[in-house]
Amino acid sequence: MSETTSETTSETAYEGTRPLRERAVELDAVDPLAAKRDLFALDDDVVYLDGNSLGALPAHVPARVADVVQRQWGELRIRSWTESGWWTAPERIGDRIAPLVGAAPGQVVVADSTSVNVFKAVVAGVRLASADPRRTDVVVDATTFPTDGYVAESAARLTGHRIVPVDPADPAALRAELGPTTAVVLLNHVDFRSGRLHDLPALTAAVHDAGAVAVWDLCHSAGALPVGLDAHGVDLAVGCTYKYLNGGPGSPAFLYVAERHQAAFDSPLPGWNSHADPFAMSRDYAAVDGARRGRVGTPDILSMLALEAALDVWEGVTIEEVRAKSLALTDFFLRCVAEYAGGASVTSVAQVTPVTPAEHAARGSQVALRCGEAPVVMERLIARGVVGDLRRPDLLRFGFAPLYVSFADAERAASTLAEVLAELRA
C-alpha cells in the first residue's frame, strides 16, 4: 500500500535542534486543515484524543437537531416522512459517506448498529457463497473487536458453518487458511487495540483468489484514511459513524453492498423498510432494489439526522488530506513521546512502549502505548485535561482525528504523559 504525505506537515524534514513545542506551532501554522477545528465544540484547556471512540461534537449540530425536534417532529409531524425527507435519509446519508470510503453512489445505506450490520453482511456473504456446498468456513479476525467475533460465531452456528480465527497481521497465516472450504472472511481494517492498519487491497485479493467473499469492518478507518472499497473490489463492508465521522453517541452505522452483489444480496433481516412496496403491507416479502436491501425497520431519525448534519464538516476536504495530516500527527506524537518519556531519561520514568507500527503503511490514526501502570496513568492524564482511553490491562490509546486535533495538542499530550510517568517513578 502506498501512503500520501504532505511536504508542509511531514516530519521527515524535522530539525531536531529546535524545541518540539516550537515545532508544533510551526506545523499548525501551515496545516491546511487547521481551520476545521473551529467547527467543533472543544474546550481550549482540554486535549481530546479519544475521537477513535467518540468523535467531537460539530458546533452546528445542536441547532440542526433542535429543528428536527421542534419543527419537523413538533410541527410537521407525520408529514416529515415526505416533506422533510425522512424516508430517504438512509440512502441519502449513505451517499454522503460513500466518497469517504471510496464507494460510488447507491452502494452505502445507513441503518441499525455496526453489530446488526455485521450479522447482515456475514450471513448474506454466506448466502452469496452457498452455490458451492464445500464452502463451510467463516474466517474471522482473531484480534477483532469482541462483538464482531460474537456475531460471526452466532451467524456461523445459524448457517451451519465453522469459525476459523486468523490474525490478519500475519498475511501468510491468513492465506494458508484460505481455500475451497472458505465462504466468508471478516476482517478489521484497523485493529482497535494496536492501531495496526491491515492491507485491505492485498488481503481482499487473497480472499477472492480463494473464491470467497470479503467483508471488512471499517469502524477505525472510515473518516481517518482512504479505504477504496470500489477500487479494491471489496464485496461487503460495515462501519460506525460515531468515531471519525462525528455522528454522536450511538449514531447509526452503515452497510456497503457492492453493486455487483446487490441483486443477489439476501439479508437475514428482511423488514418492511427493505420491501419493494413497503406500504402495501404484503405478507410476502419482495426485496427492494440496490443497497436499500440493507434496511430493516423504521429509521432512527433523530440520531440519523444528527449524523447528516455532522457530515457538513467534510465539505471541501479530501480523505487524502486527512490521511496526510493523520500520519504527520502520529509521527510527531511518537517523536515527542520518545524525546520526553524515553531516551536517556527512561530509567527515571515509567516506561511506555509503542505497539502501533512505525511504518505508515501499517498505521491507522491512533497510537497505542503499552504501559504497566496504564490505568492510573490514563486517570491522571484525564484529570490534567488530556483525554485518551484505556484498553485493559496495559494499553494507553490516543486517537488523532485530523479535522480537530492540532500538533500543539500532540505535543501537550506527550509532555503531560512524561510528567505523569515521572511522578510515578519519583
- Catalytic choice (127, 196, 243, 292): 243
Residue 239 grid coordinates: 462501519
Q: Which residues pair with 184 in a beta bridge?
A: 138, 213
User: Is residue 323 flagged as an active site residue?
Assistant: no
In a 13 Å sphere around the CA of 134, the CA atoms on its Cβ side amount to 8
User: Is residue 217 flagged as an active site residue?
Assistant: yes
- Catalytic choice (95, 217, 235, 389): 217
- Strand, coil or helix: what is 342? coil
In a 13 Å sphere around the CA of 135, the CA atoms on its Cβ side amount to 21
- Catalytic choice (48, 119, 192, 242): 242
Residue type, 279: F
Question: In sequence order, which residues have a C-beta less than 8 Å from that of residue 263 and are 6 or more positions away?
Answer: 289
For 185, phi and psi rounded to 5 degrees?
-125, 120
Nearest to 168 by CA among 145, 138, 190: 190
Strands 108-110 and 254-257: antiparallel
User: Is residue 243 flagged as an active site residue?
Assistant: yes
| CA 26/CA 405 separation, integer angstroms | 15
User: Is residue 242 flagged as an active site residue?
Assistant: yes
- Catalytic choice (40, 48, 119, 145): 145
Residue 220 grid coordinates: 477505525
**H helices then E strands: how many in the chain?**
12, 13
For 404, phi and psi rounded to 5 degrees?
-135, -5
Strands 366-370 and 395-399: antiparallel
Q: How far is CA 13 from CA 342, 348, 409, in A?
A: 21, 30, 20
- Catalytic choice (293, 397, 398, 412): 397
Q: Which residues pair with 366 in a beta bridge?
A: 399
Q: Provide the annotated active-site residues.
A: 145, 217, 242-243, 397
